[in-house]
Structure 1
């Protein structure tokens, strides 16, 4: 009891199950992903280590890796619809987690069968993508008026569980792979996903379960589709979406207009993810050709990527409490649009370092891994500027009824970027028009592409209108939890 005589607010009993489930699930996802590209090359595409086959082998491995990530980030939209309209979050998380476990089982059992291994990747992508849009929202569902002020702290622990799972697995699983082979390296993440499912199921009697609402026709897809199909009904000077006002809720139509304004910024984000996700595939393959000595210790190529979450956790407070206020005091307001533009430039610099490392490798040298760590530091800074800012921008620039839609669209930018990179690598592997992108030329291509987008972005950015909607502190932490622990 507190001094007013009222019962003190307590944390929902379901919270430990949700947070433990998330940590184990992220361990399973990042664990298998940390070794995926190097495993595919060594096991299927160039087991003989033939230098003449290495370029095509790496392209094939990168293609599979990026298409896997693309699918995992395209499916949250479907998961959200399934949960909100038909089954509820609890059932979607539970049922899709079982699919997730089956995918991991395929990865550990079929290390010598590429087709069945690909089936495992498909099932893991369905599992990871299907629950992505539900888990953080399910956490928020557990709170009510009496304890909603405790929600911010719990999202902090949720974010901590995400990063703990990803960091631990990225350190541990490459070591298991090197010492005990792929069966154990893929099997342990599978066991963690099974544990995550059991933990989630164990809390079934403690969850607040929001029932599905049924099909809601007043949504982004239905209204946009109707307006496009009936575009001939538009009157002169009338916005296209206004065509749908007679058929759908007028306020919802106005809300969707704000979504398209945000998408003017989102249109530039896929190219960022097309480059960023190479840090977990192409950069890992590059690390196999570098001097991996760190403070007299030899690290594994797959373990180097662990520095990213460390830099990210360091840079978030640095930017929020020092860098942004510094520029604001100088009269240079760090608006979200400007932060994203700066992030694109920093990304280009990080890839410039990677390209120069590759030039040295192509010349027969073995540069220090410290150069790649420097590139990771810059890439992490770009993640604060773009990923954290971008999802927050999606929340603040969209009305309450469209915040979930914007979060799903933000994840879709990752899917589009990875799909593009996957297609480039497929073209290289099939001796297509991009087949000349070997060695450093591969990175110069993406740097040139990004620079073209940067020029276009700075031309468009000044014309983008910003409109901030009121949002809660919980939204800020939800932004942080989704921006990296994706």
Structure 2
């Protein structure tokens, strides 16, 4: 007798507020400390070690982007440990405690280089390690009865990230100015402790998906098998079919197909985007901070980005994208991402023009930075939100984690490249803005050319796989192929 389908529920699971509350506080803590990091390094920690201001600014930028490269590298390790050995709950809770310890180091060792950098390393491990687990754990809390609410809860989740970032960007720079580094780094630490407590408080309510253990058909095992069985006919990966099912080999092919589109080009966007916390902050320090009755700190201007994200995403989704579709030119993901690179480059060109003006002796008001922030945020939405969804849909279920890792690696590579470039200090002043803008424009052209040849294969989750004989009879491939 067939089992009756579960009754649909329109209520979020009771454990969701614990995860959302945790995310809001954690994001406040992270962006609070990160957004003042460049200014702190320039004005406090490195002041005695590097007397020259220009060299100190270059070193501060290099250190900030080295930290960010770590933040986006450790998700690979955190996600792997959660999936294979410990489960998401234990990884989130354990690394959150490491995260709290890192914040404590920042507050305590404000004048100690070794102690402060130890704190940054612990935060990179904690923040990066929990990053892939929290979002995945949100999805784990839903079943067939309330699966229709998943899209809504992730919208709330993304909005919460920007909500925390907005208030942190607005208020923590003021704490640094008026109360000093211990308080400015201590308050984010308190918020991270609260985030950890909120998450722990929901421990009896969570659905905990157990770790899967070793995957015999993982990405690296399939690749190793293909290398062992070279020359077995077909493409080089087809030799792996001697030891692995066809679905696993096709999944690895999907990873390479997507990686060829993302890895060579997407890092050039992150090179631009993450410099809003370094190069743009340094530029703001040379501007007139008085806007009407308000005096803005250089680091505060970063509040514009999360505020605009909360406004522009619904506007683009509800108005702009449908308008392009009505005019017969749909903004597909493969068109949005190269366009995002172009728009990001434009934001740096605008900021570079501002820098040329100031180098000519004119002092610009800090409010002028609103314009490049608007343009950069538009580029972020075109590239980041689109690219994340695109990466997810372009691989079968077994390889979605690997594809998300590829996406995170693009950010790691970008920040490592900026850290090295800043350390070498080859480009200074307005030249650095046009340098990065030029690279992004070249990357946009390259990505657009590769995207023209890319055949989209969307892999969506299904309640049950279609039997092979039915799939063949219906002419259905593992992913729905369509022209780019």
TM-score, length of structure 2 as denominator length: 0.90
Residue equivalent to 1:458: 448
Higher relative contact order (CA 8 A, sep 6+): 1
Structure 2 distance, partners of 1:293, 1:471, is: 52
Change (3 A) 1:81 1:441: same
Change (3 A) 1:49 1:221: closer
- How far does the alpha carbon of each residue in 1:10-57 deviate from its partner, in whole angstroms, 9 at most, with x for none? 43222121111111110110000010001001113336996xx22211
Change (3 A) 1:203 1:368: same
Instruction: Identify the match of residue 261 of structure 2 among 256, 261, 265.
Output: 265
Change (3 A) 1:301 1:259: same
1:93–1:135 CA contact under 8 A, matched in 2? yes
Larger deviation, residues 137-146 vs 301-310: 137-146
Answer yes or no: is 1:339 the counterpart of 2:336.
yes
Residue equivalent to 1:322: 319
1:264–1:464 CA contact under 8 A, matched in 2? no
Residue equivalent to 1:370: 367
How much has 1:456 moved relative to structure 2?
2.2
How much has 1:335 moved relative to structure 2?
1.5
Structure 1 distance, partners of 2:26, 2:189, is: 9
Instruction: Identify the match of residue 250 of structure 1 among 242, 246, 249.
Output: 246
Instruction: Identify the match of residue 308 of structure 2 among 303, 308, 311.
Output: 311
What is the root-mean-square deviation of aligned Cα atoms in Å?
Answer: 2.0
Residue equivalent to 1:166: 165
Change (3 A) 1:115 1:154: same
Change (3 A) 1:325 1:471: farther
Equivalences for residues 281-296 of structure 1 within 5 A: 281-296=278-293
2:348–2:372 CA contact under 8 A, matched in 1? yes
How much has 1:7 moved relative to structure 2?
9.1
How much has 1:111 moved relative to structure 2?
0.6
Answer yes or no: is 1:177 the counterpart of 2:176.
yes
Residue equivalent to 1:230: 228
Equivalences for residues 110-259 of structure 1 within 5 A: 110-227=109-226, 229-230=227-228, 233-235=230-232, 238-259=234-255
Structure 2 distance, partners of 1:424, 1:163, is: 29
Answer yes or no: is 1:41 the counterpart of 2:42.
yes
- How far does the alpha carbon of each residue in 1:441-486 deviate from its partner, in whole angstroms, 9 at most, with x for none? 11122122222222322332211221222359xxxxxxxxxxxxxx
1:75–1:126 CA contact under 8 A, matched in 2? yes
Larger deviation, residues 295-304 vs 85-94: 295-304
Structure 1 distance, partners of 2:39, 2:404, is: 31
Answer yes or no: is 1:26 the counterpart of 2:27.
yes
Unaligned segments of structure 2, at least 5 residues:
463-484
Count of residues in correspondence between the two structures = 457
Structure 2 distance, partners of 1:5, 1:395, is: 27
Structure 1 distance, partners of 2:14, 2:310, is: 28
Structure 2 distance, partners of 1:200, 1:157, is: 17
Structure 1 distance, partners of 2:158, 2:45, is: 36
Structure 1 distance, partners of 2:128, 2:7, is: 42
Structure 2 distance, partners of 1:274, 1:171, is: 23
How much has 1:266 moved relative to structure 2?
0.7
Change (3 A) 1:129 1:380: same
TM-score, length of structure 1 as denominator length: 0.90
Instruction: Identify the match of residue 379 of structure 1 among 376, 380, 400.
Output: 376
Structure 2 counterpart SS, 1:389? helix
Equivalences for residues 41-80 of structure 1 within 5 A: 41-46=42-47, 53-80=52-79
Structure 1 distance, partners of 2:327, 2:144, is: 41
Unaligned segments of structure 1, at least 5 residues:
429-433, 473-486
